[in-house]
Amino acid sequence: MTGASTDPVERITYGDDPSQFADLHLPEGEPRGVVVVIHGGFWLAQYDYTLGTPLARSLAADGWAALNLEYRRVGNGGGAPTTFDDVAAGIDLLAGPELDLDTTTVVTLGHSAGGHLAAWAASRGRFPQWQGGVDVTHVISQAGVLDLVAADADGLGGGAVAGFLGHTPGPADAPLDPMQQVPLDQPLWCVHGTDDGNVPISQSERYVAAATAAGASAELVTIEGGDHFTLIDADSEAWAQTLGILDTIG
């Protein structure tokens, strides 16, 4: 486990809205790669990038360049497709020549609704409106909402999925739903606590089963006794295990 660093932080904007920015945390020396941190909160405006700040600091201390991404959420101009537009544009910040970052390894790491967006970002190149200059190479989903149809049927977040999409999810939402984008071309890890009362572990279990059956590289990392927020506690064993996954990447 790695504690918080005193890393330099640069705020970069990618649009005119107050939520269109990202904080870039840099390590000492050459980065091992880039991790894009995407916070959760059922896509709602009351949850923001500060949820990801401790993780970004820990990642920088562990040698990674960490882009802690903010985006428009439901209640401040977000929802579909605006939130997806923002995540795509935020990731493409990494291609800016002024940053001088090696994008050979770009990992999206997202928690809860951010896990949904992290997995979605790996498939965005399949759709012309979201194709960009930076490819995602690996995905780590922390208690991610990876099956929008099942999440809505289960009433997760008090109807958060329908609120985010603007309607009940279905086949027409395939470009937005990780489960309907199986198989991904990139390896994906689902880190999930067995005692998660916000996003049940069945979300990750079903996704990994479908992905591996389709020939994709997907792995379930179970945190025994872990709840929803254990995974984003930078002092937790769950976070140490997530850093361990990253050690296998770069």
pLDDT > 50? residue 158: yes
Say if residue 127 is exposed, middle or buried (CB neighbours under 10 Å; 0-12, 13-18, 19+).
middle
In the chain the domains, ranked by start, together with CATH numbers, are 9-247 (3.40.50.1820)
**Strand boundaries in the chain, DSSP class E:** 9-13, 21-25, 34-38, 65-69, 106-111, 138-142, 188-193, 218-223
pLDDT > 50? residue 167: yes
Q: What is the pLDDT of residue 6?
A: 54
pLDDT > 60? residue 52: yes
Q: What is the pLDDT of residue 250?
A: 84
Side chain identity at 136, as an amino acid letter?
Answer: V
SS3 for 37?
strand
- Diameter of the chain measured on Cα atoms: 47
Per-residue pLDDT averaged across 200-221, rounded?
Answer: 98
Decide which of 138 and 4 is more confident. 138
Kindly indicate the confidence band of residue 104, based on its pLDDT and cuts at 50, 70 and 90.
very high
